[in-house]
Structure 1
């Protein structure tokens, strides 16, 4: 027996609406952090360079979620069991991708002490080349401006190496109003926040994929039951 087919269809549409929203969120999140990470590229340690692929992975998963939501709606409107079957199968694949995305993000921050140490080494090199190479100077300015930080550990870092505090530490304000946080801690917080946010979203919404697959399969059962009744009655 099958409960109201209309109710099941409504459930499928609700799931697809949620999938569409999730897709947009993951796409937006990935695009935003792709731009941000590109600005801090010189500050990312070599052992953590795969971080650059995390927002790309997020955008791919988001795009799949967004597109599959339309697939599910179309299959439901047309009562097409083949479309709904493939929709359910893709949702299972999407579930695996989202769990993978969440774990991939968490693995990058499982050892924050190591990440902190490598960020310190990387930024020490970049900051020491300030005003020596155009690439490192631009990277330091970008990091300090966007993360609102100053020096590797604090504004005092500049005087410790015999340099004036970089104007990017205070922008249009006075030097005395320079950002108080060091850039090592600021970049670490940025990376950890990004990884945790991505993992939370991906792992939390992966349950929707399972619900969607189950509801779609149940709708297929309802459609087939209705078709059989038409034949015999």
Structure 2
């Protein structure tokens, strides 16, 4: 193996190691959003569920294919490398779609949070306390959301619970969660796609080298 093939082989290996870690990051971000925002997702429409679920699915698939790519690079298997490159191209398209979906819809989702929480609060204030517990907040906009009604225990860190020691509103807390994790997932997708493009080129080059090597071995 020449110096060039050696470099391509191990660059591809360590690049896929990065992909595996990035896949785990996407998976972890999706799980974190799903767990942290469970109370909101339970009362929200399906548009709030798409990003974390898609992130978990894409992250898990990226991890598996990156592991496949590492094996193909080390073994210099033409079949594995070609298959890996094809799957990577498909994943690039999926991640571009995911990032586009997030960036295009993030603002509208964030701006729609107050309406969703206000509707949930007016519909069932007892169920709304799940959100208050999850985000350590009080009402959609703060303790004044309850007007003259006594504040629930979930609105305060200590008892008795009064407007003076109550948490701030849930609107800002939930919006902050969506903005932070939405941008994080989108940025990770874009960075991974950029590096995947290089990995696909390297994978095809190494596959071509492996094919030529196999042909020469038959002569």
TM-score bin (small chain): 0.7 to 0.9
The aligned counterpart of 1:20 is 20
Unaligned runs of 5+ in 2: none
Task: Give the alignment partner of residue 154 of structure 2, picking from 168, 171, 178.
Answer: 168
Per-residue CA deviation, residues 63-86 of structure 1 (Å, 9 max, x unaligned), is 111111121122223221111011
Task: Give the alignment partner of residue 101 of structure 1, picking from 98, 101, 109.
Answer: 98
Matched, 1:121 2:118: no
8 Å contact kept, 2:129–2:154:
yes
Matched, 1:210 2:197: yes
Q: Sort the Cα spacing of 1:27 and 1:42 in 2 relative to 1 into closer, same or farther, 3 A.
A: closer
102-111 or 209-218: bigger deviation: 102-111
Matched, 1:191 2:191: no
State the Cα distance separating 1:90 from its structure 2 match.
0.8
Matched, 1:143 2:131: yes
The aligned counterpart of 1:9 is 9
Q: How many angstroms apart in 1 are the aligned matches of 2:211 and 2:114?
A: 62
Q: Sort the Cα spacing of 1:29 and 1:220 in 2 relative to 1 into closer, same or farther, 3 A.
A: same
State the Cα distance separating 1:15 from its structure 2 match.
1.0
State the Cα distance separating 1:154 from its structure 2 match.
1.7
| 4+ residue segments displaced more than 6 Å | none
8 Å contact kept, 1:15–1:212:
yes
Q: How many angstroms apart in 2 are the aligned matches of 1:33 and 1:26?
A: 11
Q: Sort the Cα spacing of 1:222 and 1:156 in 2 relative to 1 into closer, same or farther, 3 A.
A: same
State the Cα distance separating 1:147 from its structure 2 match.
1.5
State the Cα distance separating 1:226 from its structure 2 match.
3.6
Unaligned runs of 5+ in 1: 131-135
Q: Sort the Cα spacing of 1:120 and 1:224 in 2 relative to 1 into closer, same or farther, 3 A.
A: closer
State the Cα distance separating 1:155 from its structure 2 match.
1.6
Three-state SS of the structure 2 residue aligned to 1:187 is helix
Task: Give the alignment partner of residue 83 of structure 1, picking from 80, 83, 89.
Answer: 80
Q: How many angstroms apart in 2 are the aligned matches of 1:148 and 1:141?
A: 10
Q: How many angstroms apart in 1 are the aligned matches of 2:41 and 2:217?
A: 63
